[in-house]
Structure 1
Amino acid sequence: MGHEVDPEEEGDGKPEKAKEPRRPSFSVYLTATQFGPPGLYHHGQRQPKGDSDPEPFDVWVCSPIECLAATHDERGDNHGLLLRFKPPYGPWREWAMPLELLSGSGEEMRRELMRMGVRISPDGFKLLHRWASQCLPDERVIAATRVGWHQLEEGRAFVMPRRTLAQGTQANRITFQSEHAGQNDYATAGTLASWRQHVGSLCSGNPLLVLAVSTALAGPLLYLTHRQTAGIHLVGDSSNGKTTALEVAASVWGGPDFKRTWRATGNGLEGVAAALSDTVLILDEIGEADAQQIGGTVYALGNGTGKARASRNGAARRPHRWRIAVLSSGERTLAAHMSEAGKRPKAGQAVRLLDIPAKRRHGAFDHLHHLTDGRAFADHLKSEVARHHGHLGPAFIERLVREERDLGGEVDRFARLPGFATSHPLQGRAAKALALIGLAGELAVEYGLMDWQQGEAMSAAIEAFQAWAAGQGGIRSEHEQILTNVDGFIERHGDARFSGVEADPTHSPTVHNRAGWWRDDAQGRTYLFNGEGLTEALGGFDLKRGTEALEAAGWIVEREDNARSVRIRINGSRRRLYAIRPAESEEIPA
C-alpha cells in the first residue's frame, strides 16, 4: 500500500502519469491518473486461460483514504485504525475507527465513511474491507473512547472528538475513537475574541450569567480537584430569561444544540453525560423530566457511573463513566417536581443539584448594558451565541494542561471565605461545589480569557450559596430527616396507637392500627415499635436505613445480638419490637 502523490499536493485537475504499480496492491492517488479519478485503487492481475501472460486490471475502490496509525486504549483493548480521507467536497478528515466495525461485511464502517462524504464504488466495497483489514501501520496512538482528561506518561491530555489538547507533542499520542465518525457536540462559530466582545462582556454585572458560564467551565476542574460533579438548578418563572442563561453557558463549548432538555430517559442522559465528560451537561425545563425517575437520574449524574448492561452477545458491557458539571433550569425545584410522583428528595440529591433562585431585577438579569428591557437583552444574547460559540472551553483547557497549582487546595481555600461560612455538613458540601464554580470563573479571568472584574465570579458563587442556604439550603441530612419523622410520629400517635405493656387488654381502650407499646422506667418512656409501625414512622426510608440512623443517634436503647430489635413478651406472646427512646433535646442530632 502506498501513495503515488504527496497528500498535500493539490494537482491541477489534469490526469498525471503514475508509475506502474506492483500487483496485487492498493495505492492512493490524490489527482486523476491514467487509472481514473482520484482515490484508493486496487491493482490486480488475472490469469487468463492458456499460457497467456497475466492480465492487469485496476479497480477504483473509493475516494482518497489512508491509514495513519493503529490505535488501542490504555488497557490494550478497543483496537482500531486512525483513518484520513478526502471527500470530493471539503477538506481532509480523520476518524479513529474501531476494528470491530470490520466484523461481518464491514457495512457499519462503510456507512460511517459515506456519512462523512467518502464515495465508495458498488463494485469495490469488498476491496475496501480487504484494504482496511490488511492495514498494519508502524505508527501507534492511544485510542480514547470517551471525551475528557486522560493521563499520559509525560502529562495529561484533554481529548475532544476532533482535537486533542496537551502540552507539546503529547497531543499526537492520543486520539478520540468512536463508532460514529461524525459525532461532535463541540461546534464552533466566530472566534474567541468575537465571543468575548459580543457575549462574555454582556455577562458582566449579571451574577446569574456569570454563574452559568462559570458552571460551564467547572467541568474540566472536576478531575483536577478530585471531585465527581457540581450542579446548579436555576428556578424561576416562565420566560424570565433563565433559558437564555443556559444558552450562554452552552456557547462556552458549542452551538445552541449543546443545550438539551430534561425530556429524556435516565439511560439516554447517561449516554449524553458520557459524551460530554469533563465538560458540562446543560438541561432545560425540569418539568419535562419523569418525576418517578428524576431522583435516580440526579444520583447517577453525580456518581458518574451508568447502569451495567449486557452486550448483544450477552457479555457484560462496561458501563458509561463520566465526570460532569450540571446546569439545569425549570419553573419548579427538584423537590417540587418529585413530589408530583409522591417522591421526596434525599439529602444527597439536594446537594448534587442546588436550587438557585433566578429572580433578578429584569427577569434573570441585573444589568442590561445597552438594551432597553429584559426581553430585548435575552433576544440579543440568543442571536449572539448563535454566531459566536465553541471557543472559550477549549481555550480554557489549553491553559489548564499547563496548570501546576493544587486546584483542590484552592477550592478548599475559597470555601473558607466568610460568604461560604456554615457549620452544617451538607451546606459545607454545597459551599465547596459553588467555590469550585467560582474558581473556574476566576481562573478564566486570570488566564486573560474573560473581561470580567477580578472577584466577580466568586462573588456570584457566594451570592448563589447564600440564596440556596436561605431556601433549600436548610435541608436536613437523611439522619436528621429520619429522627424528625420518628419524633413527629410519636408526637402525633403516641397516645392513640400505643398502649402500656402492662395494660390489661380486657379493661383498656381498643388500640386501632397499633404501631406498638410503651414502657416507662427511670430514664423515661421507651416506645416499642412493631415493624409495620416503625416503617410508617420512617416516612419513606427503608427499615435498615432508618434503624442505622436511630442507632447512631442513640435512640435504640435495647437490642439483641446483631439485631437492632429485641424480643419482648406482651400479653403472653413474644414479639420482636424496636425499643426507641427519643433524645430529650431541643435539637435533633445530625
Structure 2
Amino acid sequence: MNQTVIVKKIGLVLEQKEKTPILIAGPTHVKAFTYDPTFMKDFGVLLQWTSRSGNAHERVFKMKDILADSGKNMLQSLADTGLFIHHKAKYWHFILDYLMNENPEKTVVTVEKTGWYFGQFVSPSWVAGFGEQEVMYNGDSPGQLKSNGTFLEWQDNVATLCQDNALMIFTLCAAFAAPLLDKLDWDSFIIHFLGSSKNGKTTLIRLSASVYSDYQYRDTWSSTANGLAGRAKDRNCMLVLLDELHQAEPEDVSKVIYQIGNGVSKLRGNKDGGPRPQDYWSLIGLSTGEVSLEQKLAEANKKPQAGQLMRFFQIPLFQTFGVFENLHGSASPKEFAERIAKVTKQQFGTALQPFLNQISAMPDLEQTITAQIKEISQTWINNLQINPSNQVAFAADRFSFLAAVGELAIELGAIPWEKGSARFEIEKVFEAWLANYSEEFDYEERHIREQLRKFLPKSQYSIKPQGAETKIGWWKLNSNELSWHIRRDAFKTGLKLEFDHQVIQAAMILKKQGWLQTNEPSRGTFKSSISGKAERHFKLLPNQIAKDLNINIDFSRFQQGGEA
C-alpha cells in the first residue's frame, strides 16, 4: 500500500492510494537537528508546531527519548500543548516516521546549563552574542527570565535612581558582573547586606533582580542547602539573590557558603552505585539579613571560618538613610523605596541582554577587565593608606571587579551614569566592608590574637616548671628569657582550633609575629630532650605576646621559681 506523509499548511497529511487523505497532525515542522557539544551526544530534533488556538511552540526532543517508547510520550506532550494529533493510534507511527526521516539543513547546539558557549551567552529565555553557531537552552530550569518595558525605559526609570547611592550602584554592578566572573576563572562569592528591617535591604534585591527578570527571580534563605545548590546550578554565570538570612538554619548557611563558593555540587551516587555527574557553576550571590554570619552560626555554637569569610563579604548599611543617600526628590526613604518598587514592577528584564551583546564582541575582554581590577584595587589601597593582608587584598580585587564591570557598562552605554561613578561609589562600599571586617589582620591571625588574650591569663597559674609537667605543659627561664612549652592538645584547645591543619597554621602565624620559637620549621614545634626522651611542644614567648597584645600579666613570679 502506497502511503506518504505530506507537509501542508494545515499540518501532516497522510496520502494513501485510492483513499481519502487523512490529517494525522496539525502544523508541524522539523527545524533543525540538535546535539549537546559538551558530551557529543543527546542528538535530537528541534520541532516547531502550532496549536489549535494558534499559538506557536518550539521544543527539542531527543532521539533516545523518542525511540524509548515509540514516540508515545512525545505525542502526548505535543497534544497537551494543543497540537492536533489524530485520535487513532494506528496513525501515530506515520507521525514518528516523518519526524525521524526528516533531514533539515540546520544543526543547533543545545545546552542544559546557562553560560558562555561559542562566544555567546545562553540564558533560559534568550541568547546574547552573534556567533556563527546557533545555540539554544534546553535545560530544566523551572523559571524563564521575564521582561517588561524597554531597555531605555529601564535606564530612565530605574538605573538613574541609583546615582549618588553607593549601595544601589554596587548592587547593579554586581548584577552586570555575574556573567563575567567565569571569564576570570574566579571562584563564586556572596555579598551580604546587613541592617535592620526598615533600612531598605529589599530594595537592593528588587534593583538587582530587575536586571534579569521580575522580583520573583529572588529566593530566600529558608530554602534547604540542597535546594540552594540546585538554584546555583540553574543560575550558572548569573546572579543568585538570597533574602532574609535569619530564616535559614545555621548548618545550611555554613554548607551553602562553601558549596556556592566552591562552585561544585556534592558528589552523589546513582542507583547503580557509581557517581552521578557533578554540577558546576560560577556566580555572584547577593544576600540580605538582619543578622550577621557570626550571629547565625552562633545559634549552632559555631564560628565562621576564614574560608567562609572570603566567600561571604558582609556590608553594613552605612548610608544616611540605610541603603539610600540621595532620595532623588522623594520626601522620605519610605517614599523612595516605594517609588523604586513601583518602577521595578514596570521595567525589568531588558538590560542584561543588550549589555552582553556588546560584551561578546570584545576580543580582549579578559585583559581589559584584569588591568582595570589591578589599577582600581591599587588606587583604593593607596587612598585608604592601608597595608593589606592577603584577605583584604583578595576582597579589594572582588570589589574592584564589580567597579571595573560597572565602568565598562557605563562606557558601553548600558548604564546611564557618569564615567567614574561606579569606582567612586564602590570604593565607599569597600571601605565600609573593611571597617566592618576590622583590623589589618587576616581572620586566622585575628582569631589567634583573641584567643591568646584569654589563654595567657588563664594558663599562668596552671603551668608548672620543667620537670613538673601538667596537661598544659611546662615553663623554663633561660638567661631571663621566659618560655612556655605547650603540649599539642593544650595548644589546640587553648587557641580553639577545630582542625589539625589549623595547628600548624597557628604556629606559623605565631612564629611570624616573634611569639614562638621552633627548631622544627616544618612542624612549628620545639623538640627537647626530657629525661633522655625526645618530646615536642610549642615554645611560646609569653612576655613578648603580653607586651604586643597589651595583656596585663605579672610574670615576676616565674623569676621567683613559679610560686604564686
Match of 2:121 in 1: 158
**What is aligned with 2:59?**
95
Aligned to 2:172, the other structure's residue is in SS state: helix
Compute the TM-score of the two structures, normalised by the length of structure 2: 0.84
Shift in alpha-carbon separation, 1:82–1:580, aligned structure 2, 3 A:
farther
Alpha-carbon distance in 2 for matches of 1:23, 1:587: 97
Alignment of 1:179-578 (within 5 A): 179=140, 183-405=142-364, 406=367, 407-418=369-380, 419=383, 422-423=386-387, 424-474=389-439, 476-481=441-446, 483-484=448-449, 487-488=452-453, 490-503=455-468, 514-521=471-478, 524-531=482-489, 533-551=490-508, 553-554=510-511, 555=516, 557-558=518-519, 577-578=536-537
1:71–1:96: 8 Å Cα contact kept in structure 2?
no
Within 2, Cα distance between the matches of 1:383 and 1:473?
A: 37
Structure 2: segments with no counterpart, 5+ residues: 550-564
Higher helix share: 2
Native 8 Å contact 1:25 1:44 kept in 2: yes
Alignment of 1:141-152 (within 5 A): 141-150=108-117, 152=118
Answer yes or no: is 1:82 the counterpart of 2:46.
yes
What letter corresponds to residue 416 of structure 1 in structure 2?
Q
Distance 2:260 2:273 in 1: 26
- Bigger drift between 460-469 and 225-234 goes to 225-234
Seen in structure 2, the aligned counterparts of structure 1 residues 366 and 111 have a Cα distance that, compared at 3 Å, is farther
Shift of residue 238, structure 1, vs aligned partner: 0.3
User: In the alignment, which of 153, 165, 175 is matched to residue 136 of structure 2?
Assistant: 175
Letter in 2 for 1:68: A
Residue 214 of structure 1, CA deviation: 0.9
2:557 match: none
In 2, the alpha carbon distance for the partners of 1:113 and 1:57 equals 22
Q: Once the 2 structures are TM-superposed, how far is the Cα of residue 92 of structure 1 from its aligned partner?
A: 2.8
Letter in 1 for 2:124: P
- Cα deviation digits, residues 13-57 of structure 1 (max 9, x gap): xxxxxxxxx9545444442xxxxxxx445x386xxxxxxx89787
Distance, in Å, in 1 between the alignment partners of 2:233 and 2:145 is 14
Change (3 A) 1:556 1:89: farther
| Residues 75-108 of structure 1, C-alpha deviations (whole Å, 9 max, x = no match) | 3134333232323346433333444544643676
One-letter amino acid of the counterpart of residue 401, structure 2 = L
Query: Which amino acid is the alignment partner of residue 407 of structure 2?
Result: E
Alignment partner, residue 50 of structure 1: none
Deviations 1:436-490 (A, max 9, x none): 1112222221111222122221112100011111112547435414643663454
**SS of the residue 2:336 aligns to:** helix
Q: Relative to 1, partners in 2 of residues 1:28 and 1:382: Cα closer, same or farther, differing over 3 Å? A: farther
Once the two structures are superposed, what CA deviation does each residue of 1:351-399 show, in whole Å capped at 9, x if it has no partner? 3222112243334212222322111211121121111111111111011
Q: Is the 1:141–1:175 Cα contact (8 Å) retained in structure 2?
A: yes
Q: Is the 8 A contact 2:392 2:442 kept in 1?
A: no
In 1, are the aligned partners of 2:164 and 2:326 still within 8 Å (CA)? yes
Correspondence for 1:68: 32
Distance 1:122 1:548, change over 3 A: farther
**2:128–2:354 contact (8 Å) kept in structure 1:** no
Q: CA RMSD in A?
A: 3.3
Query: Structure 1 447/550 Cα, relative in aligned 2: closer, same or farther at 3 Å?
Result: same
Q: Deviation of residue 241 (structure 1)?
A: 1.2
**Structure-2 separation of matches of 1:193 and 1:561:** 61
Q: 8 Å contact 2:31–2:106 — kept in the other structure? A: no
Q: Which amino acid aligns with 1:238?
A: S
Go from structure 1 to structure 2 and tell me whether the alpha carbon gap of 1:65 and 1:264 turns closer, same or farther (over 3 Å shift): farther
Aligned residue type for 1:175:
M
Distance 1:442 1:110, change over 3 A: farther
| Secondary structure in 2 matching 1:142 | strand
Identity of aligned residues (%): 21
Given that 1:501 and 1:518 are in contact with CA atoms closer than 8 Å, whether structure 2 keeps it comes out as: yes
Q: What is the alpha-carbon distance in structure 1 between the residues aligned to residue 36 and residue 12 of structure 2?
A: 25
Cα pair distance change 1:97/1:456, threshold 3 Å: farther
Contact in 2 for aligned 1:67/1:135 (Cα 8 Å): no
Tell me which residue corresponds to 1:48. none
1:130-155 deviation per Cα after TM superposition (whole angstroms, max 9, x unaligned)? 665556645323222211112x3xxx
* Counterpart in the other structure of 1:10: none
For the residues of structure 2 that align with 1:391 and 1:432, how far apart are their CA atoms?
A: 29
The change in CA–CA distance for 1:101 and 1:558 in structure 2 (over 3 A counts) is farther
In structure 2, distance between residues paired with 1:26 and 1:310: 45
